[in-house]
Chains A and B, each alone.
Chain A
Amino acid sequence: MPDETSAEQVPIVGYLQLGDDPHLRANECTACGARYFDRRNACAKCGGTGFSDARVADAAVLKAYSIVHNAAPGIPVPYVSAIVETEDGTSVRSNVVGLDDPMTAELGMRVEFTTYVCGTDDDGTECVAFGYAPA
């Protein structure tokens, strides 16, 4: 986990929970259990309007990926974009991190949630992102 320094940190997205035990959280439909990372007015699966706050499991499996070599200016390439499925059955999109060679990414590989500092803004605030590293 980053933070030996005193820099203020913000999560890259609202569903990333920082602190001593960083993890992802989802809005979970109280009627059918469908999970969403964004704010929803009603459940896209069942139409229910009640949501609770749920923790998403850290352990996951790589279900789909692409090694991106061409991206908009300012985005470092290549990187491994991934769709993972967590142990509790939630699909998450992020990057596979911690691979020396992107071509070693393999469908079905076990990965683990991790966080890292991905940038600093002009006020010195650090942005913390999440990714999945080989387990």
Chain B
Amino acid sequence: MSGDSVWVLGANMTRFARYPELDALDLASQACLDAFADGGVGIHDMDILAAGTLFQPNGFGQRLQKQIGQTGIPVYNVTNACATGATAIRVAYLSIKAGEAEMGLAVGVEQMGKMGLLAGKSRSERKVYEASGRYDAVTSIDGILGTETMPGVFAQAGTGYAYENDGVGFEQFAKVAYKNHLHSTLNPLAQYQKEFSLEQIMGSPVQSYPNTTLMCCPTGDGAAAVVLISGERLRSMPEEAQRRAVKISASVLTSDPWVESGQVQPDVNTLTRNAAAQAYETAGVGPEDLDLVELHDCFATAELVHYDNLGLCERGGAGDFIDSGAPFRDGRIPVNVSGGLISKGHPIGATGVANVYEITTHLRGEAGDRQIEGAKVGLAHVIGLGSACGIHILEKAA
């Protein structure tokens, strides 16, 4: 794509947690104001605002402006499943690429509280069978014609991979969760910061086998925000701001192309493979150049298949990859050193922005105890069912 380069100037996230005393506006405002402070700019410098949330009512971005500054700039309200945050970033990115904006603010937020299991409908007691919808279903089919619940759908993505490839079983999936819980102990922004043994993970209550409770992300609250800036405008910023700026080498969004099984089981693989290929091509880097990866581990089964989809391992080799220790923070390609969605948390709209915050923080060398030393290139990946996949590749300023 032509156009000026685009950089992350400021970034911030709230700790992911549960904030019953705050609302989503409080969380989003805090992330935005802190991202401004981090970038040394303010709302009056922004040419565009993209606000991502899945569960807040329409017009959230405009309501957020009332809290952080009403300057009349275009506001885009973004909803794109679990790729909402990444999509908000991409909206601001495209606006700068198009030359309409020099600086833009992208924020993602969610306040989920203790929502519990997502998807899957309860059945009412009082009933009369009547065909409705595009399947002419007479009742809720969840639990009768397979599962619609998220832990189950992603479990099937994992067992589907195990069917096609050797060396993948319950233990490999559990190791993913072991790693991410372990990583989270170094991240003060994580919702949970507790190490669990492999035995504890495999022995925790089963949600949807092979995903046990400790292999599933929690629901929670939080926000993250980034200020993006054009390369030209960046050159007029103070030297320190230029040094800390991180380049967005690729910003990619894909949807799921047709596959035979796609009508009965969401395909999380093909669109991720397509997005990764585009991102590597655009950035001019390969998986071997990545110093760290934040990928969408909504469930342990999901992280494992994305090792393969993102080309971090050889085709079919995700089981060996985790067994070898490669995605641990001291391994060949550290994956989810933040603790990932499994332990850092997954306030849905915030997730895709928080992943970019995490990579940015490492590339700046400001990640504290969890810093991956000398990190120069990182990749942030999210996927939402439906489906949408967002990938950003970020590079340290030269």
Q: Are A and B interaction partners?
A: yes
- Give bound CA distance, A128 to B209, whole Å: 27
Q: Is B115 an interface residue (CB 8 A)?
A: no
Task: Contact check, A108 vs B146: say whether CB atoms are below 8 A apart.
Answer: no
- Give bound CA distance, A103 to B117, whole Å: 22
Within 8 A of A (CB), among B106-142: 117, 120-123, 125-129, 131, 133-139, 141-142
Within 8 A of B (CB), among A62-91: 63-79, 81-83, 85, 89-91
Closest chain A residue to B125, Cβ basis: A74
Task: Contact check, B117 vs A72: say whether CB atoms are below 8 A apart.
Answer: yes
User: Chain A, 102-120, contact with B by CB distance < 8 Å: what is the 0/1 string?
Assistant: 1100011000000000110
- Give bound CA distance, A70 to B117, whole Å: 8
Task: Contact check, A79 vs B264: say whether CB atoms are below 8 A apart.
Answer: no
Task: Contact check, A70 vs B141: say whether CB atoms are below 8 A apart.
Answer: no
Closest chain A residue to B160, Cβ basis: A64
Within 8 A of A (CB), among B76-125: 117, 120-123, 125
Task: Contact check, B147 vs A68: say whether CB atoms are below 8 A apart.
Answer: yes
- Give bound CA distance, A121 to B127, whole Å: 5
Task: Contact check, A75 vs B143: say whether CB atoms are below 8 A apart.
Answer: yes
Whole-angstrom distance from the CB of A97 to the nearest CB of chain B?
A: 10
Which of A11, A70, A92, A118 is most buried by chain B, counting CB atoms within 10 A of its CB?
A70
Q: Is A18 an interface residue (CB 8 A)?
A: no
Q: Is B149 an interface residue (CB 8 A)?
A: yes
Which of A81, A95, A119, A123 is most buried by chain B, counting CB atoms within 10 A of its CB?
A81
Q: Which residues of B contact A45 (CB under 8 A)?
A: 258
Within 8 Å by CB of A81, from B135, B138, B156, lies B156
User: Chain B, 147-161, contact with A by CB distance < 8 Å: what is the 0/1 string?
Assistant: 101011101110110
Task: Contact check, A81 vs B263: say whether CB atoms are below 8 A apart.
Answer: no
Task: Contact check, A127 vs B209: say whether CB atoms are below 8 A apart.
Answer: no
Closest chain B residue to A91, Cβ basis: B261
Count how many chain B residues have C-beta atoms less than 8 Å from C-beta atoms of the other chain: 50
Task: Contact check, B160 vs A71: say whether CB atoms are below 8 A apart.
Answer: no
Whole-angstrom distance from the CB of B136 to the nearest CB of chain A?
A: 3
Task: Contact check, A14 vs B131: say whether CB atoms are below 8 A apart.
Answer: yes
Q: Is B145 an interface residue (CB 8 A)?
A: yes
Within 8 Å by CB of A12, from B123, B139, B163, B209, lies B139
Task: Contact check, A81 vs B146: say whether CB atoms are below 8 A apart.
Answer: yes
Q: Is A59 an interface residue (CB 8 A)?
A: no
At the interface with chain A, which of B5-13, B179-187, B200-208, B217-225?
A: B200-208
- Give bound CA distance, A29 to B210, whole Å: 36
Task: Contact check, A69 vs B144: say whether CB atoms are below 8 A apart.
Answer: no
Q: Which residues of B contact A122 (CB under 8 A)?
A: 126-128
Given contacts A36-B263, A79-B143, are A64 and B208 in contact (CB under 8 A)?
no
Q: Is B385 an interface residue (CB 8 A)?
A: no
Which of A83, A85, A129 is most buried by chain B, counting CB atoms within 10 A of its CB?
A83
Q: Is A133 an interface residue (CB 8 A)?
A: no
Whole-angstrom distance from the CB of A103 to the nearest CB of chain B?
A: 8
Task: Contact check, B159 vs A70: say whether CB atoms are below 8 A apart.
Answer: no
Q: Which residues of B contact A72 (CB under 8 A)?
A: 117, 120-123, 142-143, 149
Within 8 Å by CB of B152, from A35, A36, A66, A73, lies A66
Q: Is B162 an interface residue (CB 8 A)?
A: yes
Whole-angstrom distance from the CB of A66 to the nearest CB of chain B?
A: 3
Q: Is A4 an interface residue (CB 8 A)?
A: no
Task: Contact check, B156 vs A66: say whether CB atoms are below 8 A apart.
Answer: yes
Task: Contact check, B265 vs A127: say whether CB atoms are below 8 A apart.
Answer: no
* 8 A-B pairs with the lowest CB-CB distances in the bound complex, closest first: A14-B136, A66-B155, A64-B160, A75-B143, A91-B261, A81-B147, A93-B264, A67-B209
CB pairs A–B below 8 angstroms (30 shown): A10-B138, A13-B136, A13-B137, A14-B131, A15-B135, A15-B136, A34-B260, A38-B133, A38-B135, A38-B263, A44-B263, A45-B258, A64-B163, A66-B208, A68-B208, A69-B207, A70-B117, A70-B206, A71-B142, A71-B147, A72-B122, A72-B123, A74-B123, A75-B122, A75-B123, A81-B152, A83-B160, A91-B261, A93-B146, A125-B128
Please report A residues at the B interface, Cβ cutoff 8 Å. 10-15, 34-39, 44-45, 63-79, 81-83, 85, 89-95, 102-103, 107-108, 118-119, 121-123, 125, 127, 129-130
Please report B residues at the A interface, Cβ cutoff 8 Å. 117, 120-123, 125-129, 131, 133-139, 141-147, 149, 151-153, 155-157, 159-160, 162-163, 205-211, 258, 260-265
